[in-house]
């Protein structure tokens, strides 16, 4: 069932390429808008780039994944699998891992966009990409948690991102720090935080859904 969920998610993500393009489009527009606002002060823009980029990437990723967990959580598929399937939990976790795998290339493109828009050096791209890939599982779990909150609270619309950003703040701070000091120790520390957050968000998601 785990592999069935995994294969299904990868297949759906491949077919839903437009969703990823939409998220990247949102990211590009947001980065451009911020860049235009600060454009006359390039000396301010350059150091702020990674932080702004991280925040925008988190927003875009959560928006792009906003409906994914709702589809899994609220659908009759979920109900019927819980009653009839051999291993419904394995199926859900398979889909979660599929979503995580599908997010990896997305994050690489996002890191490249941030580097390009804010004229960052190549080393910044490496640091951003590494930070995003390390954080991918936590950000995927975060999007699940936000979707669960959305299920509980109803349609919260534009507040979706507002709910997500505070939870992503530790990763944003560490990710920006990674651009300044890209060391193995920093990466290892960030990986630890990411894995911890992943577990916390999975548990929190299950708890929120139990209240629905």
Partner 1 sequence: MRMLPRLGTVVEAFRVRQKASMTHASSPLLHADRLSVARGDALLIEELSFALQPGEALHVLGENGAGKSTLLLALAGLIPLASGTVAVDRDALAFLGHDNGLLPDLSVAENMALYAGSGVVADPQTCEALGISKLSAKPARTLSFGQARRVALALTCLPEKALWLLDEPFAGLDTQTAQTLERVLAQHTARRGAVVYTSHERGLAQARNLTLAPRGDEDV
Q: Give me the residues that bind partner 1 (CB under 8 A), please.
A: 1, 4, 8, 12, 15-16, 71, 75-88, 91, 152-154, 210-212
Element (H, E) at 59: helix 42-64
CB under 8 Å to 147, separation ≥6 — which residues? 65, 66, 67, 68, 69, 70, 73
Dist. CA 24–CA 12, nearest whole Å: 18
Within 10 angstroms of residue 157's Cβ, the number of other Cβ atoms is 8
Least separation in angstroms between CB 118 and partner 1: 36
Element (H, E) at 93: helix 88-117
Q: Which is nearer to partner 1, 75 or 183 (CB)?
A: 75
**For 35, what's the count of Cα atoms within 13 Å in the CB-facing half-sphere?**
19
Least separation in angstroms between CB 79 and partner 1: 5
Least separation in angstroms between CB 146 and partner 1: 15
Q: Which is nearer to partner 1, 41 or 207 (CB)?
A: 207
| Geometric angle at alpha carbon 42, from 37 and 45, rounded to 5° | 65
Least separation in angstroms between CB 82 and partner 1: 6
Dist. CA 39–CA 119, nearest whole Å: 12
Q: Which is nearer to partner 1, 76 or 181 (CB)?
A: 76
Dist. CA 109–CA 8, nearest whole Å: 23
Q: Which is nearer to partner 1, 69 or 117 (CB)?
A: 69
Q: Which is nearer to partner 1, 9 or 103 (CB)?
A: 9
Least separation in angstroms between CB 25 and partner 1: 21
Q: Which is nearer to partner 1, 78 or 126 (CB)?
A: 78
Q: Are the CB atoms for 165 and 55 separated by under 8 Å?
A: yes
Least separation in angstroms between CB 208 and partner 1: 11
Residue bearing tokens 């454009």 = 39
């Amino acid at each position: 069932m785990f592999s069935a969920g995994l294969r299904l998610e990868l297949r759906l993500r491949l077919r839903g390429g437009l969703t990823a393009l939409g998220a990247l489009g949102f990211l590009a527009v947001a980065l451009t808008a911020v860049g235009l606002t600060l454009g006359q002060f390039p000396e301010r823009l350059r150091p702020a780039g990674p932080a702004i980029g991280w925040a925008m990437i988190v927003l875009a990723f959560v928006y792009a994944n906003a409906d994914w967990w709702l589809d899994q959580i609220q659908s009759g598929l979920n109900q019927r699998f819980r009653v009839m399937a051999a291993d419904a939990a394995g199926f859900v976790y398979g889909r979660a891992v599929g979503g995580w795998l599908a997010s990896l290339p997305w994050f690489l493109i996002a890191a490249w966009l941030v580097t390009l828009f804010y004229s960052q050096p190549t080393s910044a791209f490496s640091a951003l990409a590494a930070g995003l890939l390390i954080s991918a599982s936590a950000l995927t779990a975060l999007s699940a948690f936000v979707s669960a909150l959305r299920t509980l609270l109803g349609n919260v619309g534009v507040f979706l991102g507002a709910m997500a950003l505070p939870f992503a703040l530790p990763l944003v701070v560490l990710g920006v720090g990674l651009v300044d000091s890209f060391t193995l120790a920093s990466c290892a520390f960030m990986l630890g935080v990411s894995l911890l957050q992943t577990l916390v968000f999975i548990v929190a998601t299950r708890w929120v859904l139990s209240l629905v």
